[in-house]
Structure 1
Amino acid sequence: MPILCLIRHGESLWNKENRFTGWVDVPLTDEGREQAKKAGEILKSLDIKFDIAYTSLLSRAIETLEIIIRTLGYNIPVIKDISLNERHYGDLQGLNKDKVSEIYGKEQVKLWRRSLKVRPPNGESLEDTQKRTIPFFERAIKGDLELNKNVLVVAHGNSLRSIVSYIENLNEEQILNLEIEPAVPILYDYDIYNKKFYNKRILKI
């Protein structure tokens, strides 16, 4: 039975500086690289052989995946697609989150960051992000699962929130409280015959 593994990239420079990142291409920190290595070690201990991997076009996700693959010790075909990019934070990109909260209030910033439909200024809502991630997920990622392939996806907090909320059919309140931690593998088994995901496992050290 095929396995889907979702992993958010490790800590980036702007994560460390508490800044909105979005589509700005910032690198991993040394801590982020260590987090990626630990994620790879967790997966290696499970003795799962992945058949294909997906990531975004942003270097923090690509490097996280490269470190995981090196740690696993075998080659995996990699597909990079813009559909898996982080949500676009518009005018907030590059700004410190605490300073933005001081200006607009914590509740407004929480809505921009966590809600389904509220867009940051000139940016994407999570619902907007789903409009690109979910069709790609259905066509490519789920398509490989249907072929009985184990699939590894390394992407971003919000592109993965959109996928997890779709897989688990979460309501808006549940989506508001959904967090995806850096470099923590989330595994689902996929039932090819019933076309359902089940047995969710969040693998922390």
Structure 2
Amino acid sequence: MTASRPTIYFIRHGETDWNLEGRLQGQKDIPLNDVGRVQAEEAGRKLKALVSHVEDLAYVASPMTRTRETMEILRETLGLHPEVYRLDDRLVELTFGAWEGMTWKEVRKAEPSLAALREQDKWHYAPPGGGESYAMLVDRVRPILDDLTRDTVIVAHGGVARAFLSICCGVNPRQAASMDIWQGRVLMIEGRSYRWV
């Protein structure tokens, strides 16, 4: 990976009721709640303070409701037309398969041995029922990074942020799988380094 890759301003979607309840959302299409909408505005204000010409950036979002809502609120906060951005299906969150809609507590109770296997190696474990691992997600999102031609705002999901940190910044998989990915903030990825704003 070269340092000449465009800067990425990564924004995780705002809070949903399922985030609040600790439910595994994965590819379930859950809308933002009121807190999530405020977080989208906060991210927009932080981005505006970071970048003087926000209109020159590219804007790409996961096609899920929570990411589109976040992007549209963020763009409105920046004074841009809310609906002028690109969707990329490759940015959807990893799927938790049969576990989607459950809390980790419920998963550990229902399938303790499988939950333990995931704890041993979060990066490579794919949940039952067609779930994806972070390693599989990396393969899915890597081409997006190769396609970037200019500094870009990406609104997506916690799993996607962890994959980007591994690919772009060399964060080791064990660490990346457990990192907090904040809502209402901007994760700035420049070359091999990253910082939260």
- How does the TM-score come out when normalised to structure 1? 0.82
Check whether the contact 1:49–1:150 (CA below 8 A) recurs between aligned residues: no
CA distance in 1, matches of 2:117, 2:66: 24
Deviates more, 1:43-52 or 1:153-162: 43-52
Length, aligned pairs only: 189
Query: Cα distance 1:88–1:164, how it changes in 2: closer, same or farther (>3 A)?
Result: same
Distance apart, 1:200 and its partner CA:
2.3
- Aligned partner of 2:66 in structure 1 is 60
Check whether the contact 1:115–1:175 (CA below 8 A) recurs between aligned residues: no
Question: Of residues 36, 40, 47 in structure 2, which corresponds to 1:36?
Answer: 40
Check whether the contact 1:114–1:177 (CA below 8 A) recurs between aligned residues: no
Check whether the contact 1:112–1:125 (CA below 8 A) recurs between aligned residues: no
Question: Which consecutive residues of structure 1, in runs of 5 or more, have no partner in the other structure?
Answer: 190-196
**What whole-Å deviation, never above 9, does each CA across 1:95-118 have from its counterpart, x for those lacking one?**
122222233449936936972111
For 1:129, the aligned partner's letter is L
Question: Of residues 6, 10, 19 in structure 1, which corresponds to 2:14?
Answer: 10
For 2:52, the aligned partner's letter is I
CA distance in 1, matches of 2:103, 2:114: 16
Question: Which consecutive residues of structure 2, in runs of 5 or more, have no partner in the other structure?
Answer: none
Distance apart, 1:17 and its partner CA:
2.0
Q: How does 1:38-117 map to 2 (within 5 A)?
A: 38-50=42-54, 51-75=57-81, 77-105=84-112, 108=115, 111=118, 115-117=122-124
Distance apart, 1:21 and its partner CA:
0.7
CA distance in 1, matches of 2:109, 2:175: 26
User: Share of identical aligned residues, percent?
Assistant: 30
Check whether the contact 2:40–2:73 (CA below 8 A) recurs between aligned residues: yes
Distance apart, 1:70 and its partner CA:
0.4
CA distance in 1, matches of 2:172, 2:115: 20
Query: Cα distance 1:95–1:177, how it changes in 2: closer, same or farther (>3 A)?
Result: closer
Query: Cα distance 1:134–1:121, how it changes in 2: closer, same or farther (>3 A)?
Result: same
CA distance in 2, matches of 1:7, 1:90: 24
**What whole-Å deviation, never above 9, does each CA across 1:113-156 have from its counterpart, x for those lacking one?**
972111111200011111211112212xx3x2xxxx32100000
- Aligned partner of 1:130 in structure 2 is 138
Query: Cα distance 1:135–1:47, how it changes in 2: closer, same or farther (>3 A)?
Result: closer
Distance apart, 1:42 and its partner CA:
1.2
CA distance in 1, matches of 2:186, 2:120: 22
How large is the Cα RMSD of the aligned pairs?
2.4
Query: Cα distance 1:109–1:178, how it changes in 2: closer, same or farther (>3 A)?
Result: farther
Where 1:44 maps in the other structure, the secondary structure is helix
Check whether the contact 2:107–2:115 (CA below 8 A) recurs between aligned residues: no
